[in-house]
Amino acid sequence: MDGQAIKNSLGKTIKFLRFRMGFSQADLAEKADISITFLSTIERGIKFPQPDILSKLAKALDVEVFELFKVDLVPSDSKETMSKLSEDITKNVSLTIAEVFKQYLG
C-alpha cells in the first residue's frame, strides 16, 4: 500500500468511525482539538496527521490508534453505509428540530 492509499484508507476509517459515533465533523474536531478544515483534509485523504493528532482522534473516537489503520474495519459497501447513516442522522435531526419548534411555537 503506497502513501496515498494509506491516507485514503485512514480518512475513510475516521469518517466511518465518526458516523458510527454519531459525530459531525465539528463534534469530532472539537473533541480532538483540531480544526474542522484539518479534519476534512484528513478524511478526504489529502493530509496525514502527526502522531499526536492520531492519538487525539483515536481517543475521541474511543478506539486504539492502530484501529484507525484497520482496512477491514470499514465495510466494503462503505459508500452505501455512509449514505444511509447520513440520511438517518439528517432525518433524526429534522425530527428533533420539528419537535422543538412544535413544543415552543405551538
pLDDT digits (tens, 9 = 90+) for 49-68: 999 999 999 999 999 999 99
- Claim to verify: residue 43 and residue 1 sit in the same structural domain: yes
Residue matched to cell numbers 433524526: 92
- Claim to verify: residue 51 and residue 6 sit in the same structural domain: yes
First to last CA, the chain: 57
- Could you tell me if 28 and 61 are in contact, meaning their C-beta atoms sit under 8 angstroms apart? yes
Closest CA to 49 of 18, 4, 41, 30: 41
- Claim to verify: residue 61 and residue 21 sit in the same structural domain: yes
pLDDT at 106: 66
pLDDT at 103: 79
The mean pLDDT of 80-91, rounded to a whole number, is 66
Number of domains forming the structure of the chain = 2
The grid coordinates of residue 97 equal 428540530
> Domain range spanning residue 90?
75-106
Identify the residue with better confidence: 104 or 87: 104
- Claim to verify: residue 48 and residue 91 sit in the same structural domain: no
- CATH number at 26 reads 1.10.260.40
Q: How far is it, in rounded angstroms, from Cα 74 to Cα 27?
A: 20
Identify the residue with better confidence: 10 or 86: 10
